[in-house]
Structure 1
Amino acid sequence: MDQYKKYNAAMVQSYSARTASEQSAYMLARLKPGMHVLDVGCGPGTITAGLVPPVLPGGSVTGVDVNADAVATAQEIAHSRDGRGKDTTTTDLRFVVGDVLHLPFEDATFDVVHAHQVLVHIPSGDGAPGPVRALREMRRVCKPGGVVCSRDAEWSSWVVYPALPGLRESRALMEKLSYHRGTVIAGGRDREFARRAGFPPDNIWASAGVVTYTNPAARQWWGDMMAKRLENSEAQTQGVELGLVSEEEFNTMVAAWRAWAQHEDGFCTITDGMIICTKEE
């Protein structure tokens, strides 16, 4: 498993539901035929594949993820959707293994460098927060005049109703574990992070998007997925070892998400910070 993010079945299920038309709508208008796009931290590649049509003809999209299993999953999904084959090495869509902090590409290779919910997983180091470290490397492989785009959750924005015992505690546990790992789950700071990564303030466009789960199908999916992600991650082991949670409290968190999913008034919303940064000519 990779050093930044350990994938489990629930996480793959969650990430596979993402599409470019929904999660990356804020930057799709920037894509033009002939452009070459890099999708950093591509996971199972469902967003990556959606970035291809706008750059055709003549363009290409490359998905990169530090987790070899995620890249293999992306290749399998691409194979099942369009029959390209497991290698997925056509000129318009390919997937490779690579680290966002050490991207395996030359300087100024891509017109657009994109990341979705990736910066929040990068640990701090070298005297800088993880998102700054990642954005510096994304900026390096971006062509002059090109753009770097990122969308990241701002966990302080979570609203969950009804506030069943265990729900708020589960978010607090995740935040504490994030702090322990040295990561920053603060998409609202992405403008700051981009400036610190070298983008001039006037070249940074920032906005926000909201994700909401409240209708029965979405509520059931989100609640069940959150419960499974807690169960199948290292959250319990790490939380107990660090003295952040007891096993009983952890089980209450898992049960709370499943109960919330069944509640007819259930409502959950999270705000994401979004940035588009233009690299100076």
Structure 2
Amino acid sequence: MTVQAYVADHSAPVLRTHAWRTPQNSTAYLLPHLQPTSTILDIGCGPGSITTGLAALVPSGHVTGIEPTSPPLEAARALAVSEGITNITFQEGDIHALPFADESFDIVHAHQVVQHITDPIAGLREMRRVCKTGGLVAIKESAYLHCYPEAEEMAQWQEIYYKVAGERGTSPHPGARIHVWAREAGFAPQDVQCSTGSWCFRTREEREAWGGNFAERSVGSPLSKLAVEKGYATEEFFERVRDAWLAWVDNEDAWFGILHGEILCTKRD
């Protein structure tokens, strides 16, 4: 049985981090392939910022956003209403057993989702199944990140995250090998187009949006609780991680970059 092994939660700072994402800053590799009539499945839609943005770009089409649990969906539905977007639906759904018929969507999209599941190949097979022949499966995952200046606490926090995620059977930052998973899920190598994208958080506003949310997520998060329970760190350590993030936000020279791997997979049969 494949399972979702998400080590975060759907608390306010997590949803704020996810709500920063839009089609423009997170799916540029996909945008040239949208048509006004495209039907799109957005897996792991979170608070719906990408989902709602995609719906605005396909006014004669339809976008369906799914999450394995209901908490983020209330915010997603509220965002769509506030934006006046009506060609959109949100529902619960599991990437391992998508509740849709074969050949249902022109585009099946997942942004930083397969890193959180224990069998990404099974997830990609399901994405391929519900994609129409001639359609696209689009996946974006982080591959590498770097922070300047990097406090010792930040480096230790990342090591703890890798350890906890690995024990739960997931693959942090797998963007460099998602094309391999696509081939193993049934796509021919020539039908998988690879690219890279990046985020850079540099201005005061960007540092507050990124570092401020991670400071708030440092103490009392599912990751910190698991780490303390397993003896990997103490609650005092995570308080120091929070303080390191806040100091990073206040540093005018601070910079945070993330490199993403992207794939567009064409379904031929």
Please state which band the TM-score falls in when normalised by the shorter chain.
over 0.9
Matched, 1:262 2:247: no
Matched, 1:175 2:170: no
What SS does the corresponding residue of 1:143 show, helix, strand or coil?
strand
Distance 1:141 1:7 in 2: 27
Distance 2:89 2:220 in 1: 29
**What are the residue-to-residue correspondences of 1:99-178 with 2, within 5 Å?**
99-122=94-117, 124=118, 130-154=119-143, 157-178=144-165
Matched residue, 2:14: 11
* 1:84-109 alpha-carbon deviations (Å, 9 max, x no partner): 6xxxxx5x211111111111100110
**What are the residue-to-residue correspondences of 1:1-281 with 2, within 5 Å?**
4-5=5-6, 6-57=9-60, 59-82=61-84, 90=86, 92-122=87-117, 124=118, 130-154=119-143, 157-185=144-172, 186-281=174-269
Distance 2:188 2:166 in 1: 28
How far apart are residue 232 of structure 1 and its match? 4.2
How far apart are residue 226 of structure 1 and its match? 1.0
Matched residue, 1:127: none
Distance 2:55 2:236 in 1: 47
Q: Which runs of 5+ in 2 are unaligned?
A: none
Identity value in percent = 38
How far apart are residue 119 of structure 1 and its match? 0.9
* 1:224-252 alpha-carbon deviations (Å, 9 max, x no partner): 11111222421222102222212332222
Aligned residues of 2:4 and 2:116 also touching (Cα < 8 A) = no
* 1:102-132 alpha-carbon deviations (Å, 9 max, x no partner): 111001100100111111111x2xxxxx321
Aligned residues of 1:10 and 1:232 also touching (Cα < 8 A) = no
How far apart are residue 3 of structure 1 and its match? 5.0
Distance 2:112 2:220 in 1: 20
Q: Which runs of 4+ in 1 moved over 3 A?
A: 2-5
Aligned residues of 2:131 and 2:137 also touching (Cα < 8 A) = yes
* 1:196-229 alpha-carbon deviations (Å, 9 max, x no partner): 1111110001111111111111112211111112
Q: For this pair of structures, how many residues does the alignment match?
A: 264
Which fold has the larger relative contact order, with Cα–Cα distance below 8 Å and residues 6 or more apart in sequence? 2
TM-score (norm 2): 0.93
Distance 1:235 1:7 in 2: 13
Aligned residues of 1:8 and 1:232 also touching (Cα < 8 A) = no
Partner letter of residue 200 of structure 1?
A
How far apart are residue 80 of structure 1 and its match? 2.0
